[in-house]
Amino acid sequence: MMRTHIKVKFVSVIFLTVIFSAFMSCDDELTNDAFDQEDTLALSISNEDLVLEELFFTNKVNFNWTTGTNQDTGAAITYTLEMDMASGDFTTPLATLFSGVQATYRYEMTYGDLNNLLLDSGLNPNESHQLSVKVTATIADASVAEQTAVTNFTVTTFKPISSRLFMVGDATPNGWDLTNATEMVPSTNTRGVFTYEGGLIPGNFKFAVNQDGCFCQDFYTKDATDDTLMVYNEGGSGDDLQWTIDQALEPNENYRITADVLNLTIIIEVVESSVDTPPFSTLWIVGDATESGWNIDAPIAFNQDEENAFLFYYEGQFNSGNFKIFAGPLGDFCGQWYRPFTNNEVMENGPVNQNSGCDSDNNWLVTEQIKGRYKVVLDTQNNTVSFNKIALYIIGDGGPNGWNISTPAPMTYSDGEYVYTGPLGANNPTGEFKISKFKGDWCNGDWINPATNGQSITNTNFINTYDCDGPDNKWKLQTGQAGNYEIRINLETDQMTITAQ
């Protein structure tokens, strides 16, 4: 019995010891002397009179504070940092920089971030503002009162530089059309630096900060005493001095413009053009033989090839008259052109002359005998042009000539429409067909396909595909549909009809 009694008592002592230790651990955590703080909360700033400048965008301002007190309770202290006008009371502060953070006694922000914060809060740039910053210490033990510290400082803001820059002027690809001004490429590693590399023609240019279309906007213009320096003209004010391009480029050359709007410098240089960079980013068809007429303010544009940026395509109706190919800038008849070497030259494949100015105004001639719909392909790398008259053909076992791409069934062209009149399904009553703009090679031209594969001939919705890129959709005759039909296609209006005869 004695042994048993001693054993039980021993276990009880161990149990009580564990419980007592557990209570001691919890109490110790709440009142750990290591967290005792007896300090007066105070706040300071690294510079009480800040003049913010774009040049020092990454410079930093620091806010520092002491710990405050938890009155030796060992309770955690969290901090909240707020900013307000010096005339405010922090009821609705300008900003809460952070809130509820422990063991942090410093906060820093860049001049640029502080400037943006103030401007976003409605303060004006280029003015001095009286501000206050307040740190609040909140103690986890409710018996200890919250503490605050406030310090005042003065900040002079600045108007940030533009994040975008555009070239405008008769020397540039898009002329004086602000809404279509040429955008420059911002540097990825140097703030405020923008570049343009490409073609420029003799004329003038300056820089705009947006494409809003109003010449009352902010511009960067030439310094009156130094061509390598820029002047920031806010709201279009000041002398409207522009840079001048007076040197025509060789075929293998480009202009490279580097504008530093932070340091207000500009570098204009002629460089060898990259083989990957076409001389022009946009081309337009112009002339009374085309849908553009002689309108050079808003002519119809070519399409640029997605894989070879030097190739440009245009497809349209050519009536009797003249035309040439415009390279800009818009609105300038004496700008850049692609033209034949002699005036009234017929539409023949071969070399093309790229030149500028109004001295040589050669045009291609479209006569009544050759008018029709053409696809024009201009190669700006080799300065060659091709004119391919559009013909349409029925391809497939649902048509009269089957799947023979070398001798497909042609459609006739009349007054802007392509027409086929004849049998469908004579060789296969449930056959298929599609329409090509070429013959001789399956992957050597453009196609007209139905919108979906297996589409009934009662549905004439169609899409255009190129080479063998697909989708290779086909119309399919349904049981009982074989017979004679008229197929009529207008490529100007993208309308198609299939009518039983």
Q: What residue spans in the chain does CATH classification 2.60.40.3620 cover?
A: 166-272, 284-389
pLDDT by residue for the chain (501 residues), tens only, comes to 333 333 333 333 333 333 333 333 333 434 445 455 668 999 999 999 999 998 888 899 999 999 999 999 999 999 999 999 999 999 999 999 999 999 999 999 999 999 999 999 999 999 999 999 999 999 999 999 999 999 999 999 998 888 899 999 999 988 898 988 889 998 878 889 999 988 888 899 999 999 988 888 999 999 999 999 999 998 876 789 999 999 877 767 889 999 999 999 999 999 887 667 788 889 999 999 999 999 999 999 999 998 889 999 999 999 999 999 999 888 888 888 999 999 999 999 999 988 877 767 899 999 999 999 999 999 998 889 999 999 999 999 999 999 999 899 999 998 789 999 999 999 999 999 999 999 888 887 899 999 999 999 999 999 999 888 889 999 999 999 999 999 999 998 999 999 999
For residue 237, the model assigns a pLDDT of: 66
Hey, which CATH number is domain 393-500, 3.30.70, 2.30.240, 2.60.40, 3.40.720? 2.60.40
Query: Which letter, b or e, does each residue of 354-393 get, where b requires 16 or more Cβ atoms within 10 Å of its Cβ?
Result: bebeeeeebbbbbeeeebebbbbbbbbeebebebbebbbb
Is the dihedral angle over the CA atoms 217, 220, 222, 223 positive or is it negative?
positive
For residue 275, the model assigns a pLDDT of: 63
* Triad 113, 118, 119: Cα angle to 5°: 100
For residue 36, the model assigns a pLDDT of: 58
For residue 329, the model assigns a pLDDT of: 85
For residue 456, the model assigns a pLDDT of: 94
Residues 6 or more apart whose Cβ sits within 8 Å of residue 71: 38, 139, 141, 143, 144
For residue 5, the model assigns a pLDDT of: 38
| Architecture in CATH for domain 284-389 | Sandwich (2.60)
pTM of the model: 0.50
Q: What residue spans in the chain does CATH classification 2.60.40.10 cover?
A: 43-156
Is the dihedral angle over the CA atoms 413, 362, 173, 351 positive or is it negative?
positive
Hey, which CATH number is domain 43-156, 3.40.50.1970, 2.60.40.10, 2.40.110.10, 2.30.30.90? 2.60.40.10
| Architecture in CATH for domain 166-272 | Sandwich (2.60)
Are β-strands 417-424 and 483-490 bridged in parallel, bridged antiparallel, or unpaired? Answer: antiparallel
Where are the extended beta strands (E) located within 157-287?
A: 166-168, 182-183, 185-186, 193-198, 203-208, 219-222, 230-233, 243-245, 253-260, 265-272, 284-286
